[in-house]
Amino acid sequence: MEISQTPDRSPIIPVLHRHYLEFNEEGDHLVIRRSKGRNASLRIQIFLASAGIALGVLLYILVIRKGGMALAIGSGIYLVTLMNLREREKESAKKFIRIGNGQVEIKEGYKGSRIDLANVDEIKTSTFRSRDFLIGKINLITKDNKFHQFLETYGKEERLLMSDVSKLAAYLKEHYIIIDEQPES
């Protein structure tokens, strides 16, 4: 499908902003990247979790033993979760997706894969919990039953994340990744 006319993105603009995604047109390709806004938010949360650990230790030493210990342990667990999320964000920031000229190109750092749009059989979405945060994925399944991870995003509320991932998948399926629904004879 040619991307000469830009489809209306107003239904998915809130989803894009919520998950810090950018849809850009470069020539006749659609390029999907993660924007830089998420890293600033994570840095602030990591700083606050570190301050919570320091405050918990200080409270433990000076005044309240049980409360200080609980604050330090809770902040430590939250800090570990944020550090894991930051690592996943760093990995996904290296990734970009280009759709156009009858193929999908998924580049992740130096690795990359190309999938012909004619070989895409299904777009599958999933949401699951990994430690203390939720991950939503969009996978492309080809006709030879190979899974290609297309997009990964994160959230705190399961229903909202499931809704956002399915909206993104439906939008991409409707406008860019057209799948023939007719069974083979």
Q: How confident is the model at residue 76 (pLDDT cuts 50, 70, 90)?
A: confident
pLDDT tens figures, 92-106: 777 778 888 888 888
What pLDDT band is residue 185 in, cutting at 50, 70 and 90?
very low
Q: What is the pLDDT of residues 130-171, one digit of tens each?
A: 766 788 888 888 888 888 888 888 877 888 989 999 998 888
Domain boundaries, the chain: 13-35+95-175, 39-88
Is the pLDDT score of 1 beyond 60?
no
- At 37-71, the pLDDT tens digits run 666 777 888 888 888 888 888 888 888 877 888 88
CATH architecture of 13-35+95-175: Roll (2.30)
Is the CB of residue 15 less than 8 Å from the CB of residue 58? no
d(CA 30, CA 35): 15
